[in-house]
Amino acid sequence: MYKKSTPQAGAPGAGLSEEQAATEARRIIDDAYRPTAYRDPSPVPAHGDAPAISQPGRPPMSQGATDASVLLLAGGTTTVMVGGTAGVLMYVSQFADPIVCGLVFGAPSFLVLALARLARRAKPAPDIHHHYAGPVHQDRRTVHSRTSGVWAKTSNQP
């Protein structure tokens, strides 16, 4: 059968009645579900008199400079990994041909450079904005197109 256990001395809930233990349990559960963070809803001032302070990490720079630095860091890391792998392979094997290792381990670098060149060329088309100084007439009628004859002649009629 079910046997009620009595709390040991020093344990939470020791020496409490059932009702007090239930109240204490409800309080503990409510505390567990209470949010632990508070967001201050008051608006942040738009400006202040304190000077700007550089934050830790990368220094502030333009988006282009940030992109270039990330590209340089990635390229440097890739070069170190590929070169280190080739060096370890040649040292461990003691008979690996340096020219073959250069070709095998250099190919990914050339592939990355080629992909970067392709990605640089593949820019999206720029937005085109037309600005007119005078009145503009825009015809919204439906145009019907008809092509007929052995010698194809297309006539667009409104």
The residues that bridge with 154 in the sheet, in sequence order, are 147
Report the pLDDT value the prediction gives residue 70, as an integer from 0 to 100: 86
| Residue pair 66/58 in contact by the 8 Å Cβ criterion | yes
Average pLDDT of the segment spanning 98-120: 77
Q: How many residues does the chain have?
A: 158
| Residue pair 109/81 in contact by the 8 Å Cβ criterion | no
Q: Is the pLDDT of residue 101 over 60?
A: yes
Q: List pLDDT tens digits, range 5-46.
A: 555 555 555 677 889 999 999 999 988 888 777 788 888 777
Q: List pLDDT tens digits, range 70-94.
A: 888 888 888 888 888 878 887 888 8
Report the pLDDT value the prediction gives residue 74, as an integer from 0 to 100: 87
Compute the distance between CA of residue 73 and CA of residue 79 in angstroms, rounded to an integer.
Answer: 10
Q: List pLDDT tens digits, range 128-148.
A: 888 888 887 777 666 666 667
| Residue pair 86/103 in contact by the 8 Å Cβ criterion | no
**Confidence class for position 157, pLDDT limits 50, 70, 90:** low
Report the pLDDT value the prediction gives residue 5, as an integer from 0 to 100: 56
For the chain, give the mean pLDDT: 77
DSSP-assigned states of every residue in 31-86: HHHS-S-----SPPPS--SSPP-PPSSSPP--HHHHHHHHHHHHHHHHHHHHHHHH
Q: What is the dihedral of CA 46, 50, 55, 56, to 10 degrees?
A: -150
